[in-house]
Amino acid sequence: MAVQVTESAPAVSLGPAVALSCRECGQRFSLGPIFACQECFGPLEVAYELPGGDPEELKKRIEAGPANIWRYAPLLPVPADVADKPNLNPGFTKLVKADRLAAELGVTGGLYVKDDSGNPTHSFKDRVVAIAVEAARAFGFTTLSCSSTGNLAGAVGAAARRAGLKSCVFIPHDLEPGKVVMAAVYGGDLVAIEGNYDDVNRFCSELIGDPLGEGWGFVNVNLRPYYGEGSKTLAYEICEQLGWQLPDQLVIPIASGSQLTKIDKGLKELIALGLVEDKPYKIFGAQAEGCSPVSVAFKAGHEVVKPQKPNTIAKSLAIGNPADGPYVLDIARRTGGAVEDVTDPQIVDAIKLLARTEGIFAETAGGVTVGVTRKLIENGILDPSLTTVVLNTGDGLKTLDAVAAGPSATIRPNLDAFRAAGLAG
């Protein structure tokens, strides 16, 4: 059972992290593998004593760090020597200035794609898992586990092997083949559950309370407060890559909603530390129409999210009962943003648009963010004159079934055949 924080030092050392704090009632608990408040059952998140002093000195310290998320170690729940430990070292992925995509969409204020397909297992999940691994080590876990829509399973399998831990991950039975292979290739146990992601997640919650789960760290359940902090590094990187400036607008995909909420948290931390100038920014959430519970709630003016049964090609976003849905609604409304959704055909069109204009092959979640960006501009909701950052969270090679593409022509190996195909010039 969780214990409330006392004046004594925490039992583990996770850098500037000092406690877990309930997002609902504010009650604090000692650092440990817990995720729900013992008072009100609200979600817990990491509370910090962040570094003070001269912001310019902190900037120099960050900029002198490694070209991965550990450059931000002073702002994360990790030990000071984290960069010296076996880890996949994700992060510091490209922020692509997308001028040709901007021209297609009518954006004049500067459009950027934060392309997280460059991470070790080709999705943003490497960021969150890297933080969870350090928490697992601190709490003495020997097996790393998760419930996953695909990308997380691969990230956990790879990170566990690199860290010398066992792994056992759980996925829905009907995932894209590319994601299944990537989750299985690292040699850990991969278990397919008959059902959707919400069924998988419920099973994992039961396993945590059973002796079978003894010594297991579930990155997105009992390690969730730490795991979620990895998404803050997207906010840190975007602002640093923009010259230590806040973007005016961000378009972020929604699965559980944790990524969006933690990016907002990261932006607020940068403001509080004086690393960026405080100014308004808008956050927009993006969903697929076939799994759009947060978008539906936003448009209806609701404060709660009604679960849906997912039915979309964007399987990495197919969480019908998103844990952070209500907090996403709060952030979108507080910042003056919105939550929108697009159909599966619009997702495919957006994947092709991004590939054709910027040479970035996004998985279906990236098609969702680009498609929603286009829809928001067309509807006059997103301001094309402002600096906008769109997230691509994974590699299109993982979702090949979603896009039909092939040779322009099949010819005999001679010049006459090539001329006859009408491709020359």
Q: Which of 204, 219, 237 is nearest to 154 (CA)?
A: 219
pLDDT of 11 > 80? The answer is no
DSSP bridge partners of 171: 192
Distances (CA, A) of 335 to 71, 125, 256, 305: 28, 25, 19, 19
- What are the φ and ψ backbone dihedral angles of 28, each rounded to 5 degrees? -105, 150
Which parts of 292-387 are beta strand (E)?
338-342
pLDDT of 8 > 70? The answer is no
How far apart CA 266 and CA 338 sit, in angstroms, is 19
Question: What's the pLDDT score for residue 149?
Answer: 84
Across the range 288-313, mean pLDDT stands at: 97
Question: What's the pLDDT score for residue 6?
Answer: 39
Q: Which of 194, 198, 196, 77 is nearest to 139 (CA)?
A: 77
Q: Which of 115, 13, 61 is nearest to 391 (CA)?
A: 115
Pairing mode of beta strands 388-392, 111-115: parallel
For the beta carbon of residue 33, count every other beta carbon within 10 angstroms. Answer: 22
Question: What's the pLDDT score for residue 240?
Answer: 98
Is the distance from CB of 190 to CB of 171 less than 8 angstroms? yes
Most distant CA pair in the chain, distance: 83
Most confident of the following: 147-156, 223-232, 402-411: 223-232
DSSP codes of every residue in 15-60: TTEEEEEETTT--EE-SSS--B-TTT-PBEEEEE----S-HHHHHH
Task: Tell me what percent of the chain is helix, strand and coil, each rounded to the nearest 5.
Answer: 40, 15, 40
Q: Tell me the pTM.
A: 0.94
For 359-388, the pLDDT digits (tens) are: 999 999 999 999 999 999 999 999 999 999
Average pLDDT along the chain? 94
Question: What's the pLDDT score for residue 425?
Answer: 61
For 314-372, the pLDDT digits (tens) are: 999 999 999 999 999 999 999 999 999 999 999 999 999 999 999 999 999 999 999 99
Query: What SS3 class is residue 283?
Result: strand
